[in-house]
Structure 1
């Protein structure tokens, strides 16, 4: 359980993705600012440091906008498309002067109608976030981006087709909105910029580990229980030796002739299915009450309990010998005419069925592990 808990903590921790986008060359998603040829926004002066992205701007009229784009690049510095489907949100701290409402846009290539390299033809879902002079932390859900109407109008696309997939993303852009102030020197500063998500491969690995661990524990528990049961059954067999009929007949003769007669008669005739207390009384001449008193004093058992003990113990010995006799044949040989009744009494006595007992116990003189018994029809 401790190992499982440790593995669960590690997998859950590793499954939480957090990919920083600052500084600009941070792995695994390095980026660069656009060049002049790529259309750098003329209203924006951009400054990049290791821990922050800042752009200064002054919007002259309502149609003006300011923005900065983070173009993803490969290891050689060439533009590339990246897959952001593993991520669920973008987290950042936004600080502006004056307070402002900014946008984040993420264009993504659509293989059906986008023209590679022409970003205007890429669906560009957008979201808005707050920005104050004191700084505000924003967590922007990538599942709640929406493609603006102007893009559908410009490309004459069906506005109802709002679906997109962030699997071929060339850049992430940040810019002003329609509510940004005009004719005033402004700046926006973004820090602690990161992509967050969940890598479900670790969750799947955890599920596989827990299933394998549970199965291993179940197997271990079954083996341990089987070994404990084998040890218990063999121990009980040894403890029951004094009750076995063939042992009882070799005991030193009792001085009490009535006691000796009763014990010898039962030990000799226990396998008789007709044997009962009345038969013992008739054969030995000892009255009914005296028979029970003798057995109670000598063995601490009543007549019926002692008779069942003899029969079941002898049945256990025969089963442990692993002879060719079936369970039904053994039941008949020790005095039980009803096999179901024998099975019930045997399970009450030994905690398992006769078949299970035969496969679990070690034959006398055999120190090897018991092999599973081939099932027979009783």
Structure 2
């Protein structure tokens, strides 16, 4: 009983530690699953790029770059049929001319405008069918309109829901439904004026940060799979170890080997009297609960309660187990004694009943246990 409690305590401690490791590990993986790519400030960018601007024939624009901001000053003209004024970060200085943004889900732009404005944030991507080097019109552009306030604010753009402009699809012979874009082939990032932008007045755009963020789902998935495997395997191992027949010597608890019991005479007097009487007389075939109650000076109920609390069993089962343990010892120590003789010596009157209980207790017959002991010796 004490051994079982110790084992249960160890199992509980193991699962508490495993749960703690799972929670901490998940939190760490959750944090590291975020990936961030900074494009501006330029010193934090892993890519080389250049800043350019463009405008239609009636509008004007100028741009500059310093360590803290990208600045564009422009004035749109209402004479223009199609507004065209913007700045672009070009990756054409990199090997391959394109950048892979496929692992990112959002773009973040820290900017302000004077006066407040509506801009178009876009990504230009290579299209194998129509893109020609150095001709922006042939790039497949996908973007979204954003608000630019007079105070610094960070705008977040969802990269999964950008729109490819229909006029561009029609111009190059694509169907209106062919709006897919490939974030693995980004040639440039741009900000340009929109139809809602003010005309015939000076407008200023300041950008102090451009970054892309995403989540590496593989990190969380792999960690979850590993921890799930650990939980399943540890549970299976514990269940198997509990169901697996234990070696004969492990079945014999310290109490069943009749080692001195550490009792407190003041508090455990009745218990001590019961166990001492049983330990001395369990091999007596005439022992019964009445003889124990008489010898120990306690009630029948108390005997059963004590045995139930200590061993989780009844009086009869406890006596039988003591007899079986003693029989297993005698089988190993007295190879010449007949099995029937040993059964009688430990208190069994019926040899068939003895064999049946022995097999249930140890998973082997008395004959098999004796044979095993003979081989070991």
**TM-score bracket for the superposition, by shorter chain length:** 0.5 to 0.7
Query: How many angstroms apart in 1 are the aligned matches of 2:100 and 2:106?
Result: 14
Q: Is contact 1:31–1:71 with CA below 8 Å preserved after alignment? A: yes
- 1:8 paired residue number: 26
Task: Report if the CA contact (8 A) 1:72-1:79 is conserved.
Answer: no
Q: How far off is 1:315 after superposition?
A: 3.1
Once residues 102 and 73 of structure 1 are traced to their aligned partners in structure 2, the CA distance between those partners, rounded to angstroms, is 24
In 1: Cα distance, 2:330 partner to 2:196 partner: 94
- Aligned mates of 2:30, 2:217 — CA distance in 1: 9
Shift of 1:193: 1.7
Asked if the contact 1:87/1:196 (under 8 Å) is kept, the reply is: yes
| Alpha-carbon offset, residue 312 of structure 1 | 3.0
Preserved contact between residue 41 and residue 208 of structure 2 (Cα < 8 Å)? no
Aligned pair partner of 1:71 in 82, 87, 90 = 90
Q: More strand per residue: 1 or 2? A: 2
Q: Is the 8 A contact 2:120 2:143 kept in 1?
A: yes
Give the match for residue 296 of structure 1. 293
For residue 21 of structure 1, give the secondary structure of its aligned residue in structure 2: strand
Q: Which residue of 1 aligns with 2:270?
A: none
Is the aligned partner of 1:311 residue 2:320?
yes
Equivalent pair of 1:20/1:193 in contact (CA under 8 Å): yes
Tell me how far apart the structure 2 counterparts of residues 57 and 191 of structure 1 sit (CA, whole Å).
18
Give the length in aligned residue pairs. Answer: 299
Q: Under a length normalisation based on structure 1, what TM-score does the superposition of the two structures give?
A: 0.64
Distance 1:203 1:30, change over 3 A: farther
Residues 337 and 103 of structure 1, relative CA distance in 2, 3 Å threshold: same
Spell out, residue by residue over 1:178-208, the C-alpha distance to the aligned partner (whole angstroms, 9 max, x if none): 1111111111112232111111232134224
Residue matched to 1:178: 195
Residue 35 of structure 2 corresponds to 17
SS in 2 for 1:126: strand
2:286 to 260, 266, 279: 266
Q: Deviations along 1:102-139, whole A, 9 cap, x unmatched?
A: 0011122234x233525433321120100121233211
2:221 aligned with 1:204, yes or no? yes
User: Is the alpha carbon distance of 1:150 and 1:17 closer, same or farther for their aligned partners in structure 2, counting shifts above 3 Å?
Assistant: same
Q: Distance in 1 between matches of 2:330 and 2:202?
A: 100
Q: How far apart are the structure 1 equivalents of 2:330 and 2:138?
A: 85
User: Deviation of residue 41 (structure 1)?
Assistant: 4.2
Q: Contact (CA 8 Å) 1:106, 1:169: kept in 2 or not?
A: yes
Q: How does 1:1-378 map to 2 (within 5 A)?
A: 1-34=19-52, 40-41=54-55, 43-61=60-78, 62=80, 63-72=82-91, 77=94, 80-111=97-128, 113-117=129-133, 118-211=135-228, 213-214=230-231, 218=235, 233-239=252-258, 264-266=284-286, 293-298=290-295, 307-317=316-326, 335-336=352-353, 354-355=362-363
Segment drifting more, 131-140 vs 42-51: 42-51
* Alpha-carbon displacement from aligned partner over 1:205-244 (angstroms, at most 9, x marks no partner): 42244235435754786699799x98674324314999xx
Q: Is the alpha carbon distance of 1:149 and 1:266 closer, same or farther for their aligned partners in structure 2, counting shifts above 3 Å?
A: same
Partners of 2:330 and 2:118 lie apart in 1 by 88
Cα RMSD of the aligned pairs, angstroms, is 4.5
Provide the C-alpha distance between the structure 2 equivalents of 1:175 and 1:14, rounded to a whole number of angstroms: 34
Distance 2:220 2:193 in 1: 39
Distance 1:265 1:106, change over 3 A: closer
